[in-house]
Amino acid sequence: MFDNAVAIENPSTGDFEEDIIHRHEETASSSNATICDIESSEDEVNDSEFKATTFAECLRHLDVAHVKKCRNYEYSDTLANPTFFLRSQYANGLTQNDQTPEQTPEKKEEKEAVKDTEKDKKNKSKKPTQKLPSLKERCSSWRWRLAIILSMGNFITMALREAMPIAIVCMAGPAEDEVYNTSTIVFVNVTAQIDNKTELITEERETEKEYEFSWDKNTRGLVLSANRYSGFFMPLIGGIISQKFGAKRFIFVVMTIAGISYILIPEMTRMHVYSLISLQFSVGLFTYGNKPAYQDVWSLWSPYLEKVSLASFSKAGANLGNTFSSLTYGFLCTIELDNGWPFIFYIFGSVCLLWCALWFFFVSNSPEEHKFISEEEKKYIIANRVGITGKKKPKTPWKSVLTSRPVWAIIITQTCQTWCGTTLSLFLPLYLNGVLEFSIGITGVIISVQFLFRFVGSLFWGFLSDVLLRKTPLSVTVIRKLVQIIGFVMSAILSSVVTFIPLEYREWAIVVLAFLLFFQSAAPSSSAIAPLDIAPRFAGIITGLFIVVGSSISILVPIVVSDLTFEGRREVEWRIIFSMLSGVYILGSFVYLVFGSSKLQHWATASEKKTMPVKKKTEKVGVDNIVFEIETVS
């Protein structure tokens, strides 16, 4: 009967105690009794009264040293938002009528068994001893299959976004200058991401035939930047829509439109260049909105001890998408049929639509709605997810969100991450080619390797976070801060070191840059995960907020960096750039250290309440020297 177990977190420490609640949701709406039999581990306890919205929350406010195990918990979820008032006191302070009933032989035996178990666990951590799933268990569970599907989605999303810088070289030839006009937010890794094959075919076509299109620099700038502008507003809109209508439906619609738009690009481009610009904008519009929706997926699908691993794994696919696009698109350009470049859009647009079909048939908004998940896994996920109560979708408490200190700590830290990531993505190819004097082809290969380091880093930091949560007494807040600060501080140190490496040791500079990106990838497993900690119901909206703010501020990156690197080849100019990165990393570390938190915020669950006239019922129950007066308001 009581087969649904969850661990209770001590809000004062963030630690998980060994209190296990066994829940049973009664079907009879007329019953609103809540019964809890509790064993005491102390001889004395002060009388106290607490108010909570759920019985689990009420127990969390008790001094956990006095409550070792809560055994028989019955509560009807069919009631409208009950409020519990719980007052505990020892039986020796009660009247004769208040004395607790005698224990049955079965309960005495159970008590002895519990005591023996407590002795065995004496030197163990107070956190749940749940083991992280093995590789076999991950592959067979639907939550990890979902992580694989989401990782594939991130892979495709990034591949769709990053195709045009390489495809445009096949369509209209190389630009006259190495760097485009940065005032139009054009990304300068256009030429650096071309691999050797694209470079060779470009030279061959220059001598044999004209390119299919002849565009000036301003037109190229519009084509390349069209899919970036939607990043300034779409993530927040996507988070709101996903929270209201469900992540599955939203992601399916936006990815389907993006895939169709991609397939239409070749023919529409041949009609008019502004058709291409419109489709590029459409692709950006619908791919930038799905990242917040991914957070909404994990708010319902991730068990507590696997949350970071699942979310980090699903995000890691984006780095593989960058690597794959850098190496593959150049090869597709070498195809002689139809000038080669249309196959970039036909193939990846079709892959996107196939992924949408996979998403539609095998993914649901929550484990409760999934058709194929086992009952055991469903119960495990529901019992071990945090901050999700009830099925009704609450209204967004905008005032609380926008005035929350932890939310702004996330926004500022992630804005620092976006600034540094954008700087490296846009100008690292120029540094490799202009200062370290690598050829364009070699630079493209190096960039691909850098993204592989990011991919490995994403998996590493996610796994490390969950291991620390499971095997150490550290709270969730401490773990998030630890991972974030290690990543940012090491990135700051490596950013300062790289520009002082002499040209004759440029290979070491590549190693330093690779580890810089490895440590930078700690942020997606720390501050970027924090919305799932502080407000799971509104994780998508908070994620959309920090993406919008970060994208809006990062618009200044090309302008600032271009002004500081007037010639683009002087080491002293790049020392200024990397020193600026170090300062931004330190700023992000300081803000998150001082103001960051991963505690579940009161407004994240308070918005699910209803204020309405209620009836009160008081019931007094007692077991083993403790009596509880429980007043349910329904």
Residues 323-348, mean pLDDT to the nearest whole number? 80
Residue 173, pLDDT score? 67
Res 104: pLDDT: 44
- Predicted local distance difference test score (pLDDT) of residue 95: 33
d(CA 488, CA 374): 40
| Contact predicate 238/290, CB 8 Å | yes
Non-local CB neighbours of 230 within 8 Å, separated by 6+ positions:
281, 284, 285, 288
Task: Indicate if the pLDDT at residue 24 is higher than 50.
Answer: no
**pLDDT at 54 exceeding the cut of 50:** no
Residue 606: pLDDT band with limits 50, 70, 90? low
pLDDT at 392: 65
What pLDDT score was predicted for residue 493?
Answer: 94
Q: Which of 316, 277, 32 is nearest to 155 (CA)?
A: 316
- The rounded percent of the chain whose pLDDT value lies above 90 is 20
Strand 616-623: give its sheet, edge to edge: 48-52, 83-90, 626-633, 616-623
CATH-assigned architecture of domain 140-600: Up-down Bundle (1.20)
pLDDT in tens, 455-485: 899 899 988 998 898 888 899 999 999 999 9
- pLDDT at position 28 over 70: no
Is 70 exceeded by the pLDDT of residue 65?
no
Q: Please give the Cα distance from 219 to 267 (Å, whole number).
A: 18
Residue 7: name the closest of 52, 50, 63, 64 by CA.
64
Q: Is the pLDDT of residue 15 over 70?
A: no
User: pLDDT: is 271 or 69 the higher one?
Assistant: 271
Question: How much is the mean pLDDT over the chain?
Answer: 71
Contact predicate 93/627, CB 8 Å: no
Q: What is the pLDDT of residues 211-251, one digit of tens each?
A: 777 887 778 778 877 777 766 788 888 888 888 888 899 99
- As a whole number, mean pLDDT of residues 378-394 equals 75
pLDDT of residue 263: 92
Does position 59 have pLDDT exceeding 60, yes or no?
no
> Which residues is 88 bridged to in the sheet?
48, 628
| The predicted structure's pLDDT at residue 174 | 59
Neighbouring CB atoms inside 10 A of 244's CB total 13
Spell out the residues 6+ positions from residue 331 whose beta carbon is closer than 8 angstroms to its own: 195, 197, 198
pLDDT of residue 101: 40
pLDDT, position 478 = 93
Q: pLDDT per residue over 123-161, tens digit each?
A: 333 344 455 566 677 678 899 999 999 999 999 998 888
User: What confidence tier does 305 reach under pLDDT thresholds 50, 70, 90?
Assistant: confident
- The three-state secondary structure class of 630 is strand
Distances (CA, A) of 108 to 8, 42, 115, 262: 25, 18, 11, 69
Query: pLDDT confidence of 563, banded at 50, 70, 90?
Result: confident
Region 353-371: mean pLDDT is 92
Specify which of 111-115, 285-289, 373-377, 449-453 reaches the highest per-range mean pLDDT: 373-377
Q: What is the pLDDT of residue 77?
A: 36
CA distance 151 to 70: 39
Which of 537, 149, 509, 507 has its CA nearest to residue 310?
A: 149
| Three-point CA angle 535, 539, 545, nearest 5° | 115
For the chain, what's the residue count?
A: 634
Give CA–CA dist 241/293, Å, rounded: 9
Q: What percent of the chain clears pLDDT 70, i.e. is strictly above it?
A: 65
What tokens were used for 339?
């000038």
> For the chain, what are the domain ranges?
4-120+614-633, 140-600
Q: How confident is the model at residue 566 (pLDDT cuts 50, 70, 90)?
A: low
Q: What is the mean pLDDT of residues 404-421?
A: 93
- Residue 492 pLDDT greater than 80, yes or no: yes
Average pLDDT in the 297-303 region?
A: 88
pLDDT at 507: 86
What is the token pair recorded at 554?
Answer: 């990062």
Q: Of 550, 529, 521, 524, whose CA–CA distance to 477 is shortest?
A: 529
Cα separation, 81 vs 610, in Å, equals 7
| pLDDT reading at 620 higher than 70 | no
List, as one string, the DSSP characters of 600-629.
PPHHHHHTT-------EEEEEEEETTEEEE
Which tokens sit at 274? 């502004």
Mean pLDDT is lowest, of 51-55, 440-444, 601-605, for 51-55
